[in-house]
Structure 1
Amino acid sequence: MRTEFCEQLGIEFPIFAFTHCRDVVAAVSNAGGLGVLGAVGFTAEQLEVELAWLDEHVTGIYGVDLVIPSKYEGKGVDGLTPEQLEKQLAQMVPQGHRDFAQQILTEHGVPALPDGEHHNELLGWTSTTAGPQVEVILNHPKAKLVANALGTPPPEVVSRIQESGRVIGALCGSVKHAQNHRDAGLDFVVCQGTEGGGHCGEVSSLVLWPQVIDAVGDMPVLAAGGIGNGAQVAAALAMGAAGAWTGSLWLTVEEANVPPAQMGTYLEASSHDTIRSRSWTGKPCRMLRNDWTDAWESPETPDPLPMPLQMMVALDGVKRGHRYPEAAKDVNFNPVGQVVGMMNRIERSSDVINRLVEEYVTACDRLSKLNG
């Protein structure tokens, strides 16, 4: 199961786990895979705390996932601090959108945040705000892999990461995106089919993976979107992928920092319960369908704004959902892929890694018998 990309990184299994929970990152990396911490919800100061903790608890290496969109409202505005950019973008958000978001939360009885509780409205959703996060990553030697979730990273970010001895890649949802990443000199691509949770395109994994693998030549491709068992990992590697990039699976592990109410929502959902919606981030994002997504789909309500303006509208809802998960059960932000229908029990992260490996071996044995 060991690929050349495993050898390059010094990991045992080509299983990559994207998660916003540092405990899951550590558990996966220590079990032979590579945990990747999603940084978009952290300020630079908070990210420093998370990575310092990982340095102490990870025996090998880990990765960090940034969100630096290649296209967003306000891109090209130079010379502004993150605070100045946030203020400028905030002036572009219609009050009607903010009022509508508040109406949804109020109608569902989700309490407001305590008075005076500060929350930055961008937190890494632009190159300006993600810049300080890059500086933090460069101070942590065990953070050996960096991925960008939306588009090709800026050239100066690519060069700084690579010159530090790290590898940098980016997610893609089309052949064109993958070729852009290759032409920009990235070290790998994460090819995500439409089944995947979070931001995704429209092409299914089984169709997209081989197209991208053929298009980028020797560049390592990590297959993502809908992977829930080891047989799917075997299928991805059989197509030529260098590894499997998983995300949704880690929402229902013991180490996940997911409130019980939200965890129950994932465990009870079927693969038919997801939707691609712009209602939280402004870009098509796969998540569980609920009253929030339905409200923004109605023709009588405001259309979601472009990124990052819609996130500036919705972030109060995200924060309130985290603080009051029981009250926000029907309007919470639940990004997850169609694989949610296979996530019907809580497992330890290390057991998930072991299960994927065992299922991979079983699938390979099955093919060997057929070939024989």
Structure 2
Amino acid sequence: MKNRMCDMFGIEFPIFAFSHCRDVVAAVTDAGGMGVLGALYFTPEELEIELAWIDDHVDGRPYGVDIVMPASSAANNLDGVDDLAGELEKMIPDAHHAFVEKLLADHGVAPWPDDGAALKTLIGWTDENARSHVDISLDHPIRLLVNALGPPPKDIVDLAHEKGVKVAALVGRVDQARTQKERGVDIIVAQGHEAGGHTGEVTSMVLWPEVVDAVAPTPVLAAGGIGDGRQMAAALALGTDGVWTGSIWLTTAESDLTPLLMDKLLDAG
């Protein structure tokens, strides 16, 4: 099929596949869709390795990178990840620590390391960390830069556009979509409550047409609970220009999910 999203990126199908697994990203891109690598959990050094690998496996076909950069956050008033990790640690009640310790002990699992590394991984969405991801990503031939946490700062949007890279961002409400458009975002990803993500409480079937109408003629990708072609057809019928998918790739042959977790997902239907 062909539509303006296909024309924009030179792809065969308006299917965008978000994944933290480079094999999935490359496989979808090579099949005519658009793979998008989630950068959040990678260090800058690891991200460079992942993107270089993708470059070697997509033969010049288009792919993208998804970052998590807060447009405005109290995090920006702290001195980097270490300070933010300390602030987050203070917010965790002692009862929670006790519950976790008992749960691990009851099931014979080794105690959780007390070095703060886990917290630093969870707060990889600081401005400092995201900017390093942007810099590395734009040194590669990516075609799309996506922000999963509100509109990217204007200087990031401008920098991407200077490199010929389109910018997209996720939204869960109509007012967020309008803000994204005003900030210069090229593509709106309207993600309904059914998604495995974190954008909001409005269901997909309600959100998609509302966002399409609110930001026209800006292209909109539908996200949230898309598992097969029927749901994609419904999304297109509601006026979107393609689909943004994530969870469906977890159980593919290319996924790096553990066999145990993959079986659990498949058993859940």
**Fold shared per TM-score above 0.5:** yes
Which residue type is aligned with residue 50 of structure 2?
A: E
Residue in structure 1 matched with residue 68 of structure 2 by the alignment: 67
Contact kept? 1:35, 1:63, Cα under 8 Å: yes
- 1:182-261 alignment, distance < 5 Å: 182-261=181-260
Shift of 1:92: 5.1
Q: Which residue of 2 aligns with 1:175?
A: 174
Other-structure match for 1:101: 100
- Aligned partner of 1:30 in structure 2 is 30
SS in 1 for 2:136: helix
Distance of 2:96 and 2:70 partners within structure 1? 22
Unaligned runs of 5+ in 1: 270-340, 342-372
Q: Distance in 2 between matches of 1:53 and 1:17?
A: 17
Deviation at 1:104, TM superposition (A): 3.2
**1:145-183 CA-partner distances (Å, limit 9, x unpaired):** 111112112222222122211011111111011111011
Which of the two has higher C-alpha Rg? 1
Are positions 1:163 and 2:123 aligned together?
Answer: no
Equivalent AA in structure 2 for residue 131 of structure 1: R
SS of aligned partner of 1:26: helix
User: How far 1:41 moved relative to its partner?
Assistant: 1.0
The residue matched to 1:124 in structure 2 has which SS?
A: coil
Structure 1 position 100, deviation (Å): 3.5
8 Å CA contact 1:15, 1:246 repeated in 2: yes
Give the CA deviation at 1:105.
3.2
Query: Which residue number corresponds to residue 13 of structure 1?
Result: 13
Q: CA deviation at 1:227?
A: 1.0
Q: Residue deviations 1:302-324, cap 9 Å, x none?
A: xxxxxxxxxxxxxxxxxxxxxxx
Tell me the amino acid that sits aligned with residue 149 of structure 2: L
Q: 1:87: how far off?
A: 4.4
Query: Which runs of 4 or more aligned residues in structure 1 lie more than 2 Å from their structure 2 counterparts after TM superposition?
Result: 69-72, 80-124
Partner of 1:43: 43
Q: 1:135 to 1:93 in 2, by over 3 A?
A: farther
CA distance in 2, matches of 1:209, 1:238: 10
Could you tell me how far apart the structure 1 residues matched to 2:247 and 2:260 are? Answer: 17
Quote the Cα distance in structure 1 between the aligned partners of 2:267 and 2:34: 28
Q: Is 2:18–2:37's contact at 8 Å kept on the other side of the alignment?
A: yes
Contact kept? 1:122, 1:129, Cα under 8 Å: no
What is the TM-score normalised by the length of structure 2?
0.90
TM-aligned CA deviation for residue 102 of structure 1 = 3.5
- Tell me how far apart the structure 2 counterparts of residues 147 and 102 of structure 1 sit (CA, whole Å): 37
Tell whether the 8 Å contact from 2:76 to 2:127 is kept in structure 1 after alignment: no
Q: Match of 2:139, SS? A: coil
Gaps of 5+ in 2: none
8 Å contact from structure 1 (residues 68, 126) kept in 2: yes
Structure 1 pair 106–145 and aligned structure 2 pair: CA distance change class (3 A): farther
Q: Secondary structure at the match of 1:169?
A: strand
1:175–1:215 Cα contact (<8 Å) kept = yes
For the Cα contact (< 8 Å) 1:151–1:170, is it kept in 2? yes
| Maintained 8 Å contact 1:173/1:203 | yes
TM-score (norm 1): 0.67
Secondary structure of 2:160 counterpart: helix
Aligned identity (percent) is: 50
TM-aligned CA deviation for residue 49 of structure 1? 0.8
What is the distance in 2 between the residues matched to 1:211 and 1:115? 46
Q: Which residue number in structure 1 is paired with residue 56 of structure 2?
A: 56
| 1:239 CA displacement | 1.8
1:124 Cα deviation after fit: 2.3
Structure 1 pair 69/110, CA: closer, same or farther in 2 (3 Å)?
Answer: farther
SS of alignment partner, residue 75 of structure 1: helix
Provide the secondary structure at the position in 1 that maps to 2:168: strand
- Equivalent pairs counted in the alignment come to 267
Q: Deviations over 1:40-71 (max 9, x none)?
A: 11111111111010010112021111112345
Do the aligned partners of 2:192 and 2:204 also contact (CA within 8 Å) in 1?
yes
Q: In angstroms, what is the RMSD of aligned CA positions? A: 2.2
- Is the contact made by 1:123 and 1:130 (CA closer than 8 Å) also made in structure 2? no
Question: Structure 1, residues 262-315: CA drift from partner, whole Å, max 9, x if none?
Answer: 11110111xxxxxxxxxxxxxxxxxxxxxxxxxxxxxxxxxxxxxxxxxxxxxx
1:325-368 superposed Cα distances (whole Å, 9 cap, x missing partner): xxxxxxxxxxxxxxxx3xxxxxxxxxxxxxxxxxxxxxxxxxxx
- Report what 2:263 is aligned to: 264
User: Contact 2:221–2:244 (CA<8 Å) still a contact in 1?
Assistant: yes
The alpha-carbon distance between structure 1 residues 41 and 150, as it changes in their structure 2 partners (threshold 3 A), is same
